[in-house]
Amino acid sequence: MKIKKYIFGKGRRGEKILLYTLKNDNGITVKITNYGGIITAIETPDKEGRKVNIALGFKSFSDYISNSYIDHCPCFGCITGRYANRIAKGKFTLDKKTYTLALNNGNNCLHGGITGFDKVIWVPKEISKLNQVGVELKYRSVHMEEGFPGNLDLTVTYQLNNKNELSIDYKATTDQKTVINLTNHTYLNLAGNGTNILAHSLYIAAQTKTVNNEELIPTGEFSKVSGTPFDFTSPTLVGARINDLPDGYDCNFVLENPNQKLVQAAILTEEKLGRKVEVFTTEPGIQLYTGYYIPDIKGQGGEKFGRFAGLALETQHYPDSPNHPSFPTTALNPGETFKSKTIYKFGLA
């Protein structure tokens, strides 16, 4: 197990941006920066032992703060919050008080607002153990940042072990009642950048999904996936029914996990090169987004992206939960600790 630290760049105010490279003994490398908690790369071997980056990201920090990237905001590899996914009309009510957020996705608030956790600088700390290396990231989101109440103290810990598991542990406390929904927004392409994900095979452990309106806001209803393009209860090619949907997949699947146990949520496989990623989580939902709106942008390191260049499997609470009392709660009270865990396990099909 190895961990190395590099200077990745400078923030807009001259802050030092670091890049941590985690390596295990099986040829897996994960690169993480303290800017936005972004996973910039995940390198894994295929069935012939050849390694490529399977996560959408840039080799240059300047690409993450370029106008072409920020204007489209694809959120490559980042921590999203305070509230991952959408809040309808940018409003929610706690204890009879209504809070108003930025509208950065049509009529709604997406991924925490204009300056969410994907664009802030986290305080990093290296973790180096015998069979595990990682980085701990801390950030204080102050009261009314992006319109959310309460001073929120966050810790997100990334760790890679020799079982080929990348774990992400989220922890938060607040001094005032607030809402919280955190996820990591890594896009995966198991064949490597420059191809699309339509030939990937996907399994999702969900019999139902939340029903959305045309703005991707839940109506409060649930629907069975059986017999629909959303049925991934057995491994199915991502592109098999994608043409039945105008913008590809961007929906929340309901995991049968009421007690917040660590359960298997999804398995993504690319048969040609033989890579596989299993997703485990304590969250009640997982969002599948197949990257219809990934922009046609290029990085300084030669990276090329575009529609269906990668897919995201975002473990989460349901979208717009603060406005749906019947959904699993996203409220956090003073004296409580928010905890969540997600594991990506890399292997061969």
Strand partners of residue 184: 79
Beta carbons of 330 and 321 less than 8 angstroms apart? yes
Amino acid symbol at 109: C
Active site annotation includes 324: no
Q: Which of 111, 314, 317, 324 is catalytic?
A: 314
Strand partners of residue 136: 125, 157
Please return the burial class of 235, using the count of CB atoms within 10 Å of its CB with bins 0-12, 13-18 and 19+: middle
Nearest to 186 by CA among 104, 287, 265, 72: 287
Active site annotation includes 314: yes
Cα separation, 74 vs 295, whole angstroms: 8
Beta carbons of 207 and 222 less than 8 angstroms apart? no
Number of Cβ within 10 Å of residue 99's Cβ equals: 17
Nearest to 210 by CA among 331, 93, 75, 324: 324
Tokens of 316: 């989460």
Cα separation, 292 vs 123, whole angstroms: 33
Cα separation, 77 vs 303, whole angstroms: 15
Please name the residue ranges forming H helices in the chain.
61-64, 67-72
- Whether the upstream peptide bond of residue 82 has omega within 30° of 0, thus cis, is yes
Q: Which of 111, 145, 185, 324 is catalytic?
A: 185
> What does DSSP assign to residue 89?
G
| Residue 207 phi, psi dihedral angles, 5° rounding | -90, -15
Q: Which residues are catalytic?
A: 185, 314
